[in-house]
Structure 1
């Protein structure tokens, strides 16, 4: 049974979401603070973490950053804060997705199923390991490796899937909606998910993130990986 860690300080929301997740077939581990959440994740290694931003003590942004330091677990923010600054800040901290309260349980369950499928795909090993080279940038999709100048680059699961999707279409422009459908498996979604993850990738695979050579923006159309 898939385990989910819920970090939410509102007792009513924490209880209702925990029960709803268990009804959907998940094992829910629920805590009220970021500090307890970090400790619980070390203990149970949940397959997905749900984080509120407005937490007592350590806030959700710092909680995400600390989770992301040594864990590539999928992180979904669930928050009443819906302005662009907060959404972008949470994604830049390391979250994979963002849902605004009140959360529809069916939508949350669909997002979690998509995360699980993406996780399984990322760990599936093909018989032959390909190397896709883009100058000094190399990807091994089946081995889950990214290298720049020969040194391994640490990326999250979502960043890796995004990079592989672009690498499978070298020089081809993919729109934000195409990337949402292929990487996040969302028919309709927030395009800021794509933009922020592209920005995070550029800081990892570009020598000068502000003047990218590999992951290029085609204004008004989308993104491409230069062959």
Structure 2
């Protein structure tokens, strides 16, 4: 951060996240820090600082400290009472264990036996936040026009691509069946040359690629000719 006041407020914001207290929104955090919450709010919502650069530096630092054996892709639900927060909707949350009114954040974590730390994260925008009927609340929440609904697995692949551009790649990537059961996600990992261990659903059938190709060829050769040919 180029300006001294930005560095000071950035440090205060991080301290506020680490202090005791259940609520981590601006006003409660500012109260614990003994500062005006509007200053903290302005720093996060209006101040111009290079988010991508800061995120990349934090990711490099986290990998150096955690020394992860694996990276973890997961999503987390944040319960909400109203409908004004960006991305809030009635949707399934693993955190809640049910469908509820919440936001969903998708994250990539570095994990070891000793620690886990997020390397990157994205807010999931449900499809209900796209389209003309959502224009009013998108404007009130300052959702950029470029941001639209993307599947959670695609957000995860986007983050992995961005981390790769700053020289960070996992030894092995793990995720639950919410991601592992998605063929597009698995193919995306393979296209990136990433090793992975993914949970899948019990009813899923799997075959070695060579076996699938052989069976398709055998089926084609043994199909009886159509009547009249």
User: What's the TM-score, normalizing by structure 1?
Assistant: 0.27
Larger Rg: 2
